Every structure is written in C-alpha cells, then in structure tokens.
C-alpha cells in the first residue's frame, strides 16, 4: 500500500531557530515528491518539487532533500519566522499513468517569539 | 491572473441534506481535482476531472459526485450528508500535459459543517 509518513506530528520552536521535518514514503513506482505549506484554514501552497534525480532543492529559507534509495525526504527551515507557523505536508506522486498523489498527514510547526 | 477560486467559503448543512461546492481553476489549467481534508489530517483524494470526464477516483462512496464544465470549472456534489462529511474541501487545478511534474495549485477551500 502506498503511504507517506511524516514526523514529528507537531513541533514547537523559538523564532530564529532552525528545524527539520521528515517524510518517509513507500510509494512505488516513484515520480516526484512535493512539500506544501498550509496555513490554518487555507489551501496548501507549494514549496518545492523534487524528481528522482534531484537530491537537494532550495526555496529561500526552505531546503528540501531527497534520498530515493531510502525513500526519505526532509524539509529544513532556516532562521524560522513567526509566519512559518503552519502545517507542512509531504506529497508523493506515483510514476504510473496520471500518477496518483499520496499525501502525508502533515507536521504542525509552531514558531514562538 | 486569478488563481483557483472556490465557493462558498463556509457553509452549514444538516444530516441528510445535499451540498454543491464550486471551483474555478487557474487560468490555462484544464484538470481539476477534489480533496477532503478532515481536521488535523492530510487531504484525501476524492476524484479528478479532465475533458468533462471523471478520470480517477479515490475511495469515496457514490454519494460524492462531480462534474466539469466546458470552461473547465467544476462542481462537487455530496448527497445524504453525514456528520463525518464535515471537512475542508479543497479544489486543485493543473495542466494535463504536465500531469507528472507540473505544479498543482490549490484553492482556499470550502469549509463544510454538517450538524
């Protein structure tokens, strides 16, 4: 069964600190992996998309890594800001025709001043 | 350039009623997908529409149905509402020719509460 597991379930950090969120997946065949940021009550917004051949991709203070061999990804947030408080969702697209998306349950990040 | 727009933003229904949610995709996009997101959970795929046909479907009962119009906008209908249907319903649009690596844009969602 295709699954995406994220850890931790929730995380609290102080403003200015760094943090790393984890994503493990069993989706096969694999096409790409996406990280989304979702503010409370809003729709998800894409942060990065990584294909099989990419192992690091950055978007400002967000850096995603992908290890396709171990089927793991991480999202590193540098110098956190209060506005980073949100749910971060890992999404994996399968490699079959029309590639179904499998969503993780998300990690809720809270940044305190 | 308007992004994905959904309506209504919030609505309250009672058990047994029917609801229709609407979505207009991002300009230039031809594929619309619908997701159900319960509180504290990740989105669950309901179905996807392309060329006015349902192309894929997740594990949702037939009470959930949809439609896509020639202008690519879409509707999600839910009949015989249950308390468990209370959730945020997200619409996402994309371009079929870039179905694998293309960007997926989400709307802000419709928050449905069933009493």
| DSSP secondary structure, A60-78, as one string | TTEEEEEETTTTEEEEEE-
Report which listed range, A51-55, A87-91, B95-99, is most confident.
A87-91
Cβ–Cβ under 8 Å, residues B75 and B20? yes
pLDDT confidence bin for B40, thresholds 50/70/90: confident
State the residue for tokens 């906008």.
Answer: B73
DSSP reduced 3-state for A35: strand
Provide the percentage of residues in chain B whose pLDDT is more than 70.
95
Interchain pair A106, B42: CB under 8 A: yes
pLDDT at A87: 96
Peptide bond into B8 cis (omega under 30): yes
Q: Which residues pair with A75 in a beta bridge?
A: A21, A64
Q: Which of B99, B103, B109 comes nearest A99 by C-beta?
A: B99
How much is the pLDDT for A23? 98
* pLDDT value at residue B1: 62
Do B42 and A49 lie within an 8 Å CB cutoff? no
- Cβ distance B59 to B5 under 8 Å? no
Chain B: give the shortest CA distance to residue A72, in Å.
Answer: 18
Q: What is the pLDDT of residue B109?
A: 96
Quote the CA–CA distance of A63 and A59 in Å, as a whole number: 6
pLDDT of residue A53: 87
DSSP state of B72: S
Which pLDDT belongs to residue B103? 80
Confidence band for B27, pLDDT divided at 50, 70 and 90:
very high
For chain B, where are the E strands, in sequence order? Answer: 5-7, 10-13, 19-24, 31-37, 44-50, 53-57, 64-68, 74-78, 87-94, 105-106, 110-114
CB contact under 8 A, A51 and B101: yes
Query: pLDDT of A85-94, one tens digit each?
Result: 999 999 998 8
pLDDT band at A109 (very low <50, low <70, confident <90, very high): very high
For tokens 């619309």, the residue is: B32
From CA B86, how far away is CA A25, in angstroms rounded?
28
pLDDT at position A1? 76
Compute the average pLDDT of residues B82-92: 96
Determine whether the interchain pair A43/B109 forms a contact, defined as Cβ–Cβ distance below 8 Å.
yes
Rounded to a whole number, what is the distance in Å from the CA of B43 to chain A's nearest CA? Answer: 6
* pLDDT the model gives residue B78: 98
Q: What is the pLDDT of residue A98?
A: 63
Q: What is the DSSP letter of A40?
A: T
Residue B77: predicted pLDDT = 98
pLDDT tens-digit map of A1-40: 789 999 999 999 999 999 999 999 998 888 899 999 999 8
Query: Which of A41, A43, A51, A101 is the best residue to mutate to test the B interface, defined by the most B CB atoms within 10 Å of its own CB?
Result: A43
Size of interface A-B (CB pairs under 8 A): 54
Range from A21-25, B49-53, B62-66 carrying the lowest mean pLDDT: B49-53
């Amino acid at each position: 069964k295709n699954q995406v597991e994220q850890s931790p379930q929730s995380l609290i950090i102080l403003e200015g600190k760094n943090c790393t969120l984890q994503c493990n997946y069993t989706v096969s065949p694999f096409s790409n992996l996406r990280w989304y940021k979702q503010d409370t009550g809003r729709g998800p917004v894409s942060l990065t998309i990584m294909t099989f051949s990419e192992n690091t991709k950055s978007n400002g203070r967000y850096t995603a890594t992908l290890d396709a061999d171990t089927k793991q990804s991480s999202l590193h947030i540098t110098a956190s800001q209060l506005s980073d408080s949100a749910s971060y969702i890992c999404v994996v697209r399968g490699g079959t025709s029309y590639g179904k998306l499998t969503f993780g349950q998300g990690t809720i990040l809270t940044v305190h001043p | 350039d308007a992004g994905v727009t959904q309506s209504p933003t919030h609505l309250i229904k009672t058990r047994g009623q029917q609801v229709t949610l609407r979505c207009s995709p991002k300009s230039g996009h031809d594929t619309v997908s619908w997701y159900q997101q319960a509180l504290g959970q990740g989105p669950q795929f309901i179905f996807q529409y392309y060329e006015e046909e349902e192309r894929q479907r997740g594990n949702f009962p037939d009470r959930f149905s949809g439609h896509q119009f020639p202008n690519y906008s879409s509707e999600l209908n839910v009949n015989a509402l249950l308390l468990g249907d209370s959730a945020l319903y997200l619409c996402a649009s994309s371009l079929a020719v870039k179905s694998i690596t293309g960007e997926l844009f989400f709307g802000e969602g419709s928050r449905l509460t069933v009493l």
